[in-house]
Amino acid sequence: MSGVTNRFLSNATNRIDAKGRVSVPAGFRNVLVERGIQELYCLQDFIYPAISVGGPDLLDRYERQIASVDPFSPEANRMSLLVHGGGVFMRLDAEGRLMVTDFIRGFTGISSEVTFVGRSDHFQLWQPQAFQDAQAAAREGRFPSRPA
Amino acid sequence: MSGVTNRFLSNATNRIDAKGRVSVPAGFRNVLVERGIQELYCLQDFIYPAISVGGPDLLDRYERQIASVDPFSPEANRMSLLVHGGGVFMRLDAEGRLMVTDFIRGFTGISSEVTFVGRSDHFQLWQPQAFQDAQAAAREGRFPSRPA
DNA sequence: CCTCTTCCCATTGACGCCCATATGGTCCCA
DNA sequence: TGGGACCATATGGGCGTCAATGGGAAGAGG
């Protein structure tokens, strides 16, 4: 109800510790509780070098999107590769942290810090500088280059 | 009613205290009450190095615009990156102050003082000198240079 | 048997919720 | 018209709580 806890908003940067863990911002954790999300589904963004994190419904939406285009098109092929081949379930530990796996590091370029970015119904993991650059580019009206 | 308290007008500069808080000018707080705004949606402006502050309706307007395009399109992704990733809900403390977070400092360059600028249906937070410069430029009819 | 993960606890610093003080202005009244 | 009570705003600071982070130890898997 309060607008504050029902959507993923804003961005914040946290450190990765020696064990490869990083705290999810408390505000985001509250949204997860509010939405009853316990299992996190992580997948690669179609456009940006970022990992999208949300509940199982996030996967549902992406699958519907894939289904809405010609299943034999290169676009559908590419999306399926990212969603089905690159998706993974994760859980938070008791302190609200998640493991930054090689899968995440490799796709995003994250090494020592993670920028958490709210996306309303999900949030994303970014390499800090990449996020700054992408946001600045978006303000200028430029679109990110897309993989062929 | 009188026209004085229903719009954000004029500008004022206040100090940030040792704990990183700053008082929102009483005139602006009155407008917030008049408009029934309790939760403040703060957005990193698209053009200027300033934070725009308004009610939840400010976010609603942007979200309707996003909803009007294909949600999986690059355009929607780009707008969400700015509107969701660059916005956050905040609330004032009992004395009418708000925390000047890194989210605000980093984007505006604000360090020790904040200039509050009325924009009719919302107001903005500026680094004082940046506001002076932008206003002088506007008087000369020059347009702002977009952020790099 | 060794390594990686999971669970648990400790520390520290930040933030929220209070209450206190200063400063400047307004209004009333002598 | 000058003084002074009164008031609203801006600002300062104490203190409890929670978040972010670090690290030990037990458990699982190779």
DSSP-assigned letter for residue B84: T
Residues of chain B found within 8 Å of residue A10, distances taken between Cβ atoms: 85-88, 103
pLDDT interval class at B77 (50, 70, 90): very high
User: Is the CB atom of residue B18 positioned under 7 angstroms from any atom of strand C?
Assistant: no
pLDDT tens string, chain A, 148 residues long: the values are: 566 778 999 999 999 999 999 999 999 999 999 999 988 999 999 899 999 999 988 888 888 887 777 778 777 777 777 777 777 889 999 999 999 999 999 999 999 999 999 999 999 999 999 999 999 999 987 655 443 3
* Residue A56 in tokens: 């199982």
Collapsing DSSP to helix, strand or coil, B141 comes out as: coil
* pLDDT on residue B144: 72
Strand C positions with any atom < 7 Å from protein CB? 5-10, 15-20
Strand ranges for chain A from DSSP E: 11-15, 21-23, 40-44, 51-54, 88-90, 97-99, 113-118, 123-126
Per-residue pLDDT of B16-67, as tens digits, reads 999 999 999 999 999 999 999 999 999 999 999 999 999 999 999 999 999 9
When CB atoms are compared, the residue of B74, B79, B84 closest to A47 is: B74
Binary contact (A139, B39; C-beta < 8 A): no
Chain centroid to CA A44: 7
Which pTM does this prediction carry? 0.90
* Residue A14 in tokens: 């946290």
* pLDDT on residue A148: 36
**Rounded CA–C1' distance between B30 and D17, in angstroms:** 31
Binary contact (A10, B103; C-beta < 8 A): yes
Distances (CA, A) of B147 to A118, A133, A135, B79, B108: 22, 11, 10, 16, 11
Torsion on CA atoms A31, B57, B119, B22, rounded to nearest 10:
-30
When CB atoms are compared, the residue of A2, A9, A140 closest to B84 is: A9
